Structure 1
Amino acid sequence: MQFDKFVFLPKLEDTYPLYVRNIVNEMSNTVKFPSFDGSKGLWIMSDYGGEHKGAGFNTYSFLICCHDKTPVYRDECKKIREKHSLNTPFKEFNYKDLDSQRVKASLDDFLKIADSYLHGVLVTVSVDKNIPSLFGNTKREGQRFIQKQLKDSGLGEWKGEIAEKLMRICHPIALYLSLLRSKTEKFMWLSDNDAINADGKKRSFEDTRNIFTRVLAMYTKDPFEIYGFAKSFKDDPYTNDILSLTDFAAGAIQDILSSKVKNIDKSISKEQEKIFSWLGNDSNFLMKHHFIFTKSKTDLWDVGKVNITNASSSFRG
C-alpha cells in the first residue's frame, strides 16, 4: 500500500456548499491520503451516530477501501469469529454492545486486522447539534432549500431533517471518492439501514442513489463506469464486519466529543478505550481523518480536526 503525501484538492468554487469548502481547507493540513493505484474497485461503508437523547454531536462516518484487498481481511475475520464463537449464535460488532464476553475477548484481534488488512481511509465528520443547518443560516432556511432542490429535480419529496442528513453524508463521500479514485472505475456504497435509504411515501432508495450520483458529478468530470448501492447484507457477516468499523467510529467519536467539548459526563470502558486508541492512530494501510464543526459565537461555525489520544481528545478550529 502506498500513501500520497498530497492530493490535488478541488478548486473551491462557490457552487460547493460552504460545509464542503471547510472540509477541503482542513484536508490541506492532512499529511497522508491512501493511494488506490492498481485497485479494481472501491468499497464505501457508512454509519451514523448521535441521534439518541443526550448526544452533543451528530457523527457521519465512512470508510473507503480497496475492494480487491478485502478477501484477506475476510479470511482473518472468519478465523476470529471461529476462535471466539462469534457465529454460534451470530454476534455483530456494535459500539452500543461492547459488554458481550465474546466481543471483549475478540476486540483486540478485530481492530488489529482492520489496521493490517484494510487499505483505505476512515473518515468521520462531527457536527455540533447547536448548529441548526449546514446549508442555511437557520434550520428552516437550509432544509427548505434542500427540499425544494430535490423535489424540483424529480428526486423525491423528503422531510427536512432527513434531506439535510443525506446531503451532509453525500457531499464528503463524493469529495473523497473523487480524490481517491485513481484509475478505478467501480464502487459499491454499503450503508447501514437508515432513514436516508428507506422507502417513503414520495421518495425511495432509488432517489437516494440518484441523488448521490448527482452530487458525485459536482466533484468529478469522469463518471464511474460501474457503481452500486446496497443496505446491510444480512447473510454476509464478514462484509458487515467492515461496516462495523464505521459504527465504532460514529459512536466513539460522538462520545469523546460530547464528553470533552460538551462536558457531558460519561463512564468509559476498557473496550471503548481500545476503540479510541485505534481511531487515534493511522496504520501502514488504514488512515483515519476526523473533522469537527462546532457552534461559533462570531460566525456560523468553527471547523477543525479531531486528534484522539486514548480517552482524551483535542480539536483545532
Structure 2
Amino acid sequence: MNPPFKKKTLAVAIEGIFALVHATPVPVAALQQKIRKQGPFKLPTISPDHHYFCHVLGGVLEIIPELPDFSDDNKIAVMSDYGGEHSDAHYSTYSFLFVALNKNGPFQTHMQELRRKHKILDRYSEFKYKDLKYGPRSRALSEYLKLIDNFIHGAIVTVAIDKTIGSVFGSTKSEGHATIAKQLEDGDFGSWPGHVGEKVMRVLHILAAFTAALTYDQQRLLWYSDTDQINEDAKDRSFAHVKKLFGSIGAMYMTHCFDVLGFAKSFSEKGYLDDLLSVPDLAAGMLQDLLAARDSGADIPGGDEKLAVLKWLATPAKFLSKIHVRIARTDDGTYEGQVLTLEPKW
C-alpha cells in the first residue's frame, strides 16, 4: 500500500501555493499573437435581471487575466468532467477543457506513440485521477502531462463550489432544488430530481459563460462529456433535454451563433477524444484535494503520481491556460467567486 504524502512533502507543495485574485486583473506580458488574449472579459448580455450566479460567473471572467485566443480557429471542442460527489468531499468540482480541435493532430500523434511506448494496449483508456497507480499509465503520466502542456492550445477551467453552499440558485438547498425542478419541468426540459437539476444547471451555466468568452461567431463547437447522471436517458428526461437547455442558458451569455453545435458523451468504445477527456478529470480531482487539504490541514492521499499532477496543474504552459475558480460563502451569507493562482514552489 502506498503511503499518503508525508506531512513535510505536502507542506512544501501546498504552502503558499494559493493566491486569491478578487478585483484587479493581473497584467500579462505580451504574448505571441493568436495564442492568448488579455482580459478583462465582459459579458454584455448579463443584466440586473439575471440570477446572482450569472453575475458571480461574469465577475470571475472580468478578473481572469488571459484566455486562449481562438479567433483563427473554426473547430472548438469542450471536454467536461465533474467531481466531489463522494460524501467526504469538501467541494463539488466542474472542469472543462476548451481546445482548438483543428490543431489537435500533433497531440494525437504523440499520444499514439506514448501508448505504444508504454504498452497501454487499451489505447484510449483514460488517465483517471482515482486510478493513477496502474503500472503502464503511472509510468506514462509525466510524459502525458508534458504532451498536454506542449501540444494543446486551449484552457483548462475548473470551478470548485464549496459544499456548504446547498444551492447556488436558492437561499437553501430545499428551496433551490424545488425551484429548479419546477422551472425545468415547466419549461419542457424534462423532469429532474432536485440535486441532479442543480448539477445540470451549474454545469450549463459555467459552460455557457466561458464559451461566451472563448468562442466566436460561426465557429463549430462540440461539447464532449463523460457519461454522467446529467446526460443519461431516464424515464422523464433525456440527453436531448440537456441540449435544449444549453441553448436556453447559452442565450443568457452569448451574442454570437455557431455554424454547428454538437453534443456527445463518452462511448463504451473509447476514441481519441478520451485522451483529452482525461485532462478535466485530473484537474477536477487535484483541485478538490488541494482545497480540502488547505481547508482541513489533512494529507492528500496518494504518492508520486499525485505530486506530478499537482506540479502540472500549478505550472504555467505556453499554449494551455490553467484557470482555477473557488466559489465560497461570504460572511453575509451569500457567496462569491475567487480566481486562484497556483504558484509553484519547486
TM-score, structure 2 as length reference: 0.85
Aligned with 1:218 (options 252, 255, 259): 252
Find the partner of 1:55 among 89, 102, 105.
Answer: 89
The 3 A distance-change label for structure 1 pair 90 and 232 is: closer
**Cα offset, 1:141, TM superposition:** 1.4
2:172 corresponds to: 138
CA shift for structure 1 position 183: 4.1
C-alpha separation in 2, matches of 1:29 and 1:279: 20
2:136 aligned residue: 102
Higher relative contact order (CA 8 A, sep 6+): 2
Does structure 1 retain, via aligned residues, the 8 Å contact 2:73–2:219?
no
1:9 pairs with 2:45: no
Query: Which residue of 264, 268, 288 corresponds with 1:230?
Result: 264
Q: Distance in 1 between matches of 2:152 and 2:206?
A: 20
The answer to whether residue 164 in structure 2 is matched with residue 151 in structure 1 is no
What does residue range 76-225 of structure 1 map to in structure 2 within 5 Å?
Answer: 76-87=110-121, 91-225=125-259
Structure 2: gaps of 5 or more residues:
1-33
Q: CA deviation at 1:130?
A: 0.8
Deviates more, 1:199-208 or 1:139-148: 139-148
For 1:105 and 1:208, the matched residues in 2 are separated by 38
Matches of 2:290 and 2:113, distance apart in 1: 31
C-alpha distance in structure 2 between counterparts of 1:197 and 1:78, whole Å: 29
Whether the 8 Å contact between 1:233 and 1:240 is mirrored in structure 2 is no
1:124–1:89: structure 2 CA closer, same or farther, 3 Å change rule? closer
Contact 1:62 1:122 in 2 (8 A): yes
SS at match of 1:195: coil
Q: Give deviations 1:63-116, integer Å, cap 9, x for gaps.
A: 111110112111111011010011258642100001112112111110111111
Provide, for residues 127-161 of structure 1, a one-character-per-residue CA deviation record: whole Å limited to 9, x for no partner.
Answer: 11111110010111111221111111111010000
State the alpha-carbon separation in 2 of the partners of residues 251 and 266 from structure 1: 11
Q: What amino acid sits opposite 2:89 in the alignment?
A: A
Compared with structure 1, are the counterparts of its residues 278 and 16 closer, same or farther at alpha carbon in structure 2 (3 Å cutoff)? farther
Q: 1:30 aligns with which of 64, 76, 82?
A: 64
Between the aligned partners of 1:285 and 1:83, the Cα distance in structure 2 is: 25
Deviations along 1:40-63, whole A, 9 cap, x unmatched? 111010000000121111000011
**Aligned in 2, Cα 1:16/1:116: closer, same or farther, shift over 3 Å?**
farther
Instruction: Name the aligned partner's letter for residue 79 of structure 1.
Output: E
- On the 8 A contact 1:47/1:191 being kept in 2, the answer is yes
Counterpart selection for 1:243 from 257, 277, 296: 277
Task: Label 1:180 to 1:88 Cα distance change in 2 as closer, same or farther (>3 A).
Answer: closer
| Counterpart amino acid of residue 283 in structure 1 | A
Q: Is the 8 A contact 2:79 2:224 kept in 1?
A: yes
Contact kept, 8 Å, 2:35 with 2:153, in 1: the verdict is no
Which residue is 1:254 aligned to? Answer: 288
Could you tell me whether the CA contact under 8 Å between 2:40 and 2:61 is conserved in 1?
A: no
Give the aligned CA root-mean-square deviation in angstroms.
1.9
What are the Cα deviations for residues 1-31 of structure 1, in whole angstroms up to 9, with x where unaligned?
4211125411341233322312322322221
